[in-house]
Structure 1
Amino acid sequence: MNMHVDNNTSFRDKIRLEGVTLVEFGAVWCPPCKVLLPILEELDREYEDKLSLVKVDCDDSPEVAAEYGIMSMPTVIVFHNGEPVEKLVGLRPKGVYETLLLRYV
């Protein structure tokens, strides 16, 4: 996983202006988020330089979570060329994330 984000400023700096960034909004105490983490780490290894992964802890970065309307965790938002293009709420099988990424990678 690339990083943990603490505030709006550092979050904006981590979104790729060209290419795909996958952002996971979750929390340390969230059981589905813990299940999602190994899936995202696999995707990170499989897609290597085609994908950037950013993890946002909603407890530590409530402003970022509010800006993107995060109401449930985990929520995954796909950014393509710096713009949010897809949003998945809740835990999904790995294949769902792969299918989503293939649209943009």
Structure 2
Amino acid sequence: MGLPVIKSLAEFTEIINRGRPVIIDFTATWCGPCRVIGPIFEKFSGQAQFSGVDFYKIDVDDSPDISQEVGIRAMPTFMVFNNGNKVDDLVGADPKALEVGIVQFALCTRS
């Protein structure tokens, strides 16, 4: 399956401004914790309860301009955007905290 990968700053800007809630996994291929939590994040993206949220990932080494734009300092970092604005983030590979954050965000964005 695999999550869609954002590869340019223009694409990133377009995606976060679409009017749909977005959660992005900022990752790196060399990052051990990223490799552990990445599949967990991807699993959440396929769950029906999160169908109103778009899930993406960005490789910080392939897209340093995006990483610099949003101030990534450590991987993994998960950032939540709604209507073009960053509304939350989580740094680290904590599956429970990631799940809680996704659930809370999904509940807040339901109309």
Q: Same fold (TM over 0.5)?
A: yes
Partner residue in 2 for 1:11: 12
Deviations 1:40-89 (A, max 9, x none): 11110114521111110000100100111101111000112221111111
1:29 and 2:68 correspond:
no
Q: Quickly say closer, same or farther: Cα 1:56–1:74, change in 2 above 3 A.
A: same
- Count of residues in Structure 1 that have an aligned counterpart in Structure 2: 104
Aligned-pair RMSD on alpha carbons? 1.6
Question: 5+ residue gaps in structure 1?
Answer: none
Residue 90 (structure 2) aligns with: 88
Distance across 2 between alignment mates of 1:66 and 1:20: 21
**Map of 1:78 onto structure 2:** 80
Check conservation: 1:24, 1:76, Cα contact below 8 A.
yes
The alpha carbon displacement at 1:103 in A equals 2.7
- 1:41 corresponds to which residue? 42
Query: Which residue does 1:67 correspond to in 2?
Result: 69
**Percent sequence identity over matched residues?**
33
TM-score normalised per structure 1: 0.87
Q: What amino acid maps onto 2:42 in structure 1?
A: E
Secondary structure of 2:46's partner? helix
Q: Give secondary structure in 1 for the equivalent of 2:51.
A: helix
For structure 2, the residue ranges without an aligned partner over 5 or more in a row are 107-111
Partner of 1:102: 103
